[in-house]
């Protein structure tokens, strides 16, 4: 990693957490410099990769980024200063950026296509489909769970195992270019943890199954929602930069359908920034995500409802978001 990425890393606040999509979030350092009250809800996010640094504040909307081949921007230097980087080190970083710029010109720099490593499923995992003619007793509750969620075995290669540690879990393998690169194993009875997952940073669920003839792609938060609607899932309340580039490469109209049960319209703000559409479906009370809607109204109506309520204008998205998310949680 370069001096610049190292410097940012060394001066990040200690109190921070990593999101599944690879962002580090912490109390933003920018807001009071920009006339906004200080952030106390960890709304600053930063992504550090070989591709550089990307910072975004969802409190005051300050953004700064750097990638190899580019000089440091005024905003990026501000960010370094607000993180507490000494002036002489900022100067060193400025020269380092220029040195790298000579090495690789901005034009020749291409963001690499992400690769995901092969991962093994939990021990003893087997496709559920191959047990159907004579399902063992331990498999019955998993089949019942699938039925209660309106998920069908032909929808997706669901797995299960009778091995200890993963009993009573529906295993959803993560595929990328037909290879298994992770999984999530959802507990179908009471008990914690609800999910045991192996997820690589930047991964987007269900990309392989995006039908060529669909002009749009529906972005959900969770895999169960994505399976029911043939969409994709970012498995987070926000989209990481690598996820964004994987989604944009589909070259389809991107429609984000947020869950309705959380406070953070972060993914909505991102959709506006990325030029994506957002759908706020006409869901009755008690329906908080796509799977709920499918269970009440079926797949076809759910899809119709999503498409009929999509919106691309930033202004309209912001207005609709105000009324759509639960009031007490905003």
Positions that interact with Zn ion (CB under 5 A): 28, 30-31, 57, 59-60, 62
Give 34 or 309: the residue with its C-beta nearer to Zn ion. 34
Smallest gap from residue 39 Cβ to Zn ion (A): 6
Smallest gap from residue 82 Cβ to Zn ion (A): 9
Strand partners, 198: 183
Smallest gap from residue 56 Cβ to Zn ion (A): 9
Whether the Cβ atoms of residue 155 and residue 147 lie closer than 8 Å to each other: no
Give 75 or 299: the residue with its C-beta nearer to Zn ion. 75
84 CB-near residues (< 8 Å, 6+ apart): 11
Smallest gap from residue 28 Cβ to Zn ion (A): 4
Give 32 or 209: the residue with its C-beta nearer to Zn ion. 32
Which segments of the chain does DSSP mark as H helices, in order?
3-11, 74-83, 87-103, 140-148, 223-229, 241-248, 266-274, 290-308, 314-324
Give 41 or 99: the residue with its C-beta nearer to Zn ion. 41
| Phi, psi (degrees; rounded to nearest 5) at 47 | -120, 125
> What's the Cα-to-Cα distance from 121 to each of 8, 68, 134, 165, 189, rounded to whole Å?
36, 36, 23, 13, 20
Cα gap 247→157, rounded to integer Å: 22
Smallest gap from residue 240 Cβ to Zn ion (A): 19
Cα gap 156→230, rounded to integer Å: 10
Give 35 or 193: the residue with its C-beta nearer to Zn ion. 35
């Amino acid at each position: 990693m370069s001096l610049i990425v190292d410097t940012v890393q060394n001066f990040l606040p200690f109190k921070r957490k990593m999101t599944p999509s690879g962002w580090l979030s912490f109390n933003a350092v920018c807001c009071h410099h920009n006339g906004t009250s200080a952030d106390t809800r960890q709304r600053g996010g930063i992504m550090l990769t070989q591709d550089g640094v990307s910072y975004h504040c969802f409190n005051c909307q300050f953004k700064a980024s750097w990638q190899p081949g580019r000089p440091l921007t005024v905003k990026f230097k501000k960010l370094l200063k607000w993180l507490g980087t000494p002036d002489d080190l900022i100067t060193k970083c400025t020269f380092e950026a220029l040195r790298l710029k000579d090495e690789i010109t901005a034009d020749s720099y291409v963001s690499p296509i992400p690769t995901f490593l092969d991962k093994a499923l939990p021990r003893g995992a087997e496709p559920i489909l191959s047990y159907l003619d004579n399902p063992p007793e331990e498999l019955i509750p998993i089949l019942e769970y699938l039925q209660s969620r309106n998920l069908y075995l032909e929808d997706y290669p669901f797995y299960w195992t009778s091995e200890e540690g993963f009993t009573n879990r529906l295993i959803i393998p993560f595929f990328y270019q037909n290879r298994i690169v992770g999984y999530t194993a959802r507990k179908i009875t009471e008990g914690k943890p609800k999910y045991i997952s192996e997820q690589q940073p930047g991964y987007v669920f269900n990309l392989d199954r995006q039908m060529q003839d669909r002009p749009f792609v529906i972005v959900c938060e969770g895999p169960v929602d994505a399976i029911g609607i043939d969409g994709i899932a970012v498995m987070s309340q926000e989209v990481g930069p690598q996820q964004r580039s994987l989604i944009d490469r589909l070259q389809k109209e991107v429609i984000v359908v947020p869950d309705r049960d959380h406070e953070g319209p972060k993914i909505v703000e991102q959709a506006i920034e990325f030029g994506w559409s957002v759908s706020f479906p006409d869901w009755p009370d008690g329906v908080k995500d796509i799977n709920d809607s499918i269970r009440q109204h079926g797949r076809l109506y759910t899809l119709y409802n999503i498409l009929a309520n999509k919106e691309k204008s930033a202004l309209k998205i912001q207005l609709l978001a105000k009324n759509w998310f639960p009031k007490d949680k905003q």
